[in-house]
Amino acid sequence: MLELQNISLQIEENGKTKQIIQNLNLTLDDHKFVVITGPNGSGKSTLAKIIAGIQTPTSGTILFNGQDITHTSITERARMGISFAFQQPVRFKGITVKDLIRLAAGTKLSTSCACDYLSEVGLCARDYINREVNASLSGGELKRIEIAMTIARKAVLSVFDEPEAGIDLWSFHHLIRVFEKMYQEISGSIVIISHQERILNLADEIVLLADGKIVKTGSKEEILPDLLNTSRGCRYFMESRS
């Protein structure tokens, strides 16, 4: 279980203090598929980075299975089972797909085992296992390789920051199927930052964020109908500013 208690983040911008996250409280239960959504600039990606340990909150406490990890690094959190996938996956010239999957697994997997993880995300293993993770790979291919790494890592909590960003429609459709399968087969929780309806439809729980504050949380049955209704969805976000 992940608990965010009274989390705030302030930054200095042009000589002024800007509030990015405001006194946010959120509990992410085990074995859940959670989607965090909201308008641009609402603090969604910042919240994901706070969970992963890339950014440290100005105030508040983060508990992971009861342990205070507020000032724990991203590396230490990864060892604890928290995985983070960037909006734009990193390319590594000279490093192969097999190298990355072995690094994620934390052991020298056989080529056959590494190929199994690629097959899980719908990639033909023999075409990818020895390829360099460079500009020759498309955005959709990189996203699926990154998910294969997450599966190999056997993360307790997997966080994805807008996984649909920068990929074509075919890759997006395949990505949805991969997330569905991943959630069925892993024992951990998945948190996705997204505003895509098809991803929202996968969620056990949806968290609405606006102006760095939680507007509402609930099941997709509770949240999605009003969120997709333009006037009601706008009302949620306008009320958060009052």
Question: What is the pLDDT, as a whole number, of residue 235?
Answer: 52
pLDDT for residue 208 = 93
* For range 212-224, the mean pLDDT: 91
Residue 99 is encoded by which pair of tokens?
Answer: 């190298």
User: Closest Cα to residue 33, out of 202, 172, 196?
Assistant: 202
Residue pointed to by tokens 């009003």: 226
Give the angle subtended at the CA of 94 by the CAs of 90 and 96, to the nearest 5°: 75
Bridge partners of 10, per DSSP, are 19
| pLDDT over 70 (residue 89) | no
Q: Which residue has the higher pLDDT, 76 or 94?
A: 76
Average pLDDT of 49-63? 94
Q: What percentage of the chain exceeds 90 in pLDDT?
A: 35
pLDDT of residue 106: 80
Whether 130 and 96 have beta carbons less than 8 Å apart is answered as: yes
What's the pLDDT band for 232 if we cut at 50, 70, 90?
Answer: low
Residues 139 and 136: their CA atoms lie apart, in Å, by 10
* Average confidence score pLDDT of the chain: 84
- Which of 142, 146, 163, 167 is CA-nearest to residue 155? 146
**Tens-digit pLDDT profile for residues 94-120:** 888 888 888 888 878 888 888 888 887
> Above 80 in pLDDT, residue 236?
no
Amino acid at 99: D
DSSP secondary structure, 49-112, as one string:
HHHHTSS--SEEEEEETTEE-TT--HHHHHHHTEEEE-SSPPPEEEEEHHHHHHHHHTS---HH
What percent of the chain shows pLDDT beyond 70? 93
Token pair, residue 126, equals: 């023999």
Residue 95's pLDDT is 84
> Tens of pLDDT along 127-140?
888 888 877 887 77
Q: What is the average pLDDT across 55-68?
A: 95
CB 57 within 8 A of CB 108: no
Residue 242 confidence (pLDDT) above 50:
no
Q: How confident is the model at residue 240 (pLDDT cuts 50, 70, 90)?
A: very low
The answer, yes or no, to whether residue 237 has pLDDT greater than 60, is no
Instruction: Please give the residue that has the higher pLDDT: either 240 or 149.
Output: 149
